[in-house]
Amino acid sequence: MSKIKVGLVGVGNCASAMVQGVQYYRDTERQDDCIGLRHLYLGGYHPRDIELVSAFDIASSKVGKDLSEAIFMPPNNAVKFADVPKLGVEVSKGPVLDGVSDFMKDLVKIDGSPQVNVARCLKESGSEMVVNLLPGGAQKASTWYAEEALKAECAFINATPILIASNDAWSKRFERTGLPVVGDDLMDQAGATVIHKILLKTLSERGIRVSETYQLDVGGGLESLETLGRARELKRTIKTKTVETVLPYKASITAGSTDYVDFLGNRRDSYFWLSGLYFGRAPIRLDIKLSTADAQNAGSVMLDVIRGVKIALDRKETGYILAISTYAFKHPMNMLPLEEADRLFEEFIRGK
């Protein structure tokens, strides 16, 4: 298979997990041996077919360094689980715009070098697609990079909650340019949203009437700090709407409120609570805690998305790709039940 040439916007913890993951699974040949991956081969593509060819950031600790080194530089605190050889990809200085909030300014020292021409860098590196991993509140920066992707004729993967792929005007622009776009807001592999949805769906199908439920997050790392500072209401709205689609009736639902605890590092603790009635109107209460490493939670899904977008490029599919977006993101244009989204994605991969 041909290489999948990827440009990264934002060399944070999620980028670290993704770059490490490509290396970690490189020599795995059997599905039974690839613990943590949903698909070892996807449409014929293996994780080792992914080639990181460009990267952009603004932190002085990362700009100018090889990507293999930059992913481990502070303020990144993702767990190291793979030794990444030198990749020959220097992290370039992008524009600052709104990429650093007041909450982050003490942790991120902005590099003083001039910003590069991003569209030119993408073209010269041969990038086929751009993965947007900027902080969740970086509205201006995210849309700016989407513009650069269009200029460079790159597909666009929006992992942030900024509404780009699910915005009709943006999706039509990518369609007119002959490029695919997917998003928005990446859904974790074992994240709170997917577990909350499965939990509510299962209980509801078994005749239990859920009346009230919440899911709250506490985490360390820049993304949790950023969510608390700028993206809290946006994330809460997206996650709550996503969870609401599971129940066939109205219930009081809150999902995604986040707080920041420095010493948690890159760990995230998610709390689930619900109240309802079952047989004979007997009361039921449920209280669960989930603890995960935040960065790695994005890895498996993102490797699927990248390979899915490559398949779309191979087929010359353009604009918004529903099958990928509803499978992997919290805010697709059309929110489908999990099993239907999975079926649609598998059919897309098989070419149906």
pLDDT in tens, 100-140: 877 677 789 999 999 999 999 999 999 999 999 998 889 99
Cis omega before residue 248 (within 30°)? no
Same domain, 132 and 226: no
Which residues, 6 or more positions from 162, have their beta carbon under 8 angstroms from its beta carbon?
Answer: 136, 138, 139, 142, 143, 184
pLDDT of residue 233: 81
Q: How many domains does the chain have?
A: 2
Same domain, 68 and 139: yes
Residues 34-54, mean pLDDT to the nearest whole number: 97
Angle between helices 299-314 and 13-24 (to 10 degrees): 70
pLDDT of residue 238: 87
Q: Is the pLDDT of residue 256 over 90?
A: no
CA-nearest of 192, 308, 313 to 254 is 192
Residues 291-317, mean pLDDT to the nearest whole number: 96
Residues 25-37, mean pLDDT to the nearest whole number: 94
Residues 303-330, mean pLDDT to the nearest whole number: 98
* % residues pLDDT > 90 (the chain): 84
Same domain, 104 and 200: no
Mean confidence (pLDDT) of the chain: 94
Same domain, 152 and 24: yes
Same domain, 166 and 312: yes
- Confidence band for 194, pLDDT divided at 50, 70 and 90: very high
Same domain, 119 and 246: no
Same domain, 73 and 216: no
End residue of a domain, out of 277, 293, 309? 293
Same domain, 173 and 314: yes
Q: Is the pLDDT of residue 87 over 90?
A: yes
Residues 222-247, mean pLDDT to the nearest whole number: 82
pLDDT of residue 234: 79
Alpha-carbon distance of 85 to 123, in angstroms, equals 24
Which residues, 6 or more positions from 33, have their beta carbon under 8 angstroms from its beta carbon?
Answer: none
Instruction: Kindly tell me the sign of the dihedral angle through the C-alpha atoms of 352, 306, 42, 178.
Output: positive
Same domain, 302 and 201: no
pLDDT of residue 212: 98
End residue of a domain, out of 293, 317, 340? 293
Same domain, 147 and 9: yes
Full domain range(s) for residue 209: 192-293
Q: Could you tell me the CATH number of the domain that includes residue 233?
A: 3.30.360.10
Residues 17-27, mean pLDDT to the nearest whole number: 97
pLDDT of residue 230: 67
Same domain, 97 and 165: yes
Which residues, listed in sequence order, are joined to residue 291 by a DSSP beta bridge? 269
Alpha-carbon distance of 7 to 73, in angstroms, equals 19
pLDDT of residue 289: 96
pLDDT of residue 169: 98
Q: Is the pLDDT of residue 225 over 80?
A: no
End residue of a domain, out of 268, 293, 318? 293
Which residues, listed in sequence order, are joined to residue 269 by a DSSP beta bridge? 218, 291
Same domain, 128 and 8: yes
Q: Could you tell me the CATH number of the domain that includes residue 129?
A: 3.40.50.720
pLDDT of residue 229: 67
151 or 235, higher pLDDT: 151
Residues 22-28, mean pLDDT to the nearest whole number: 97
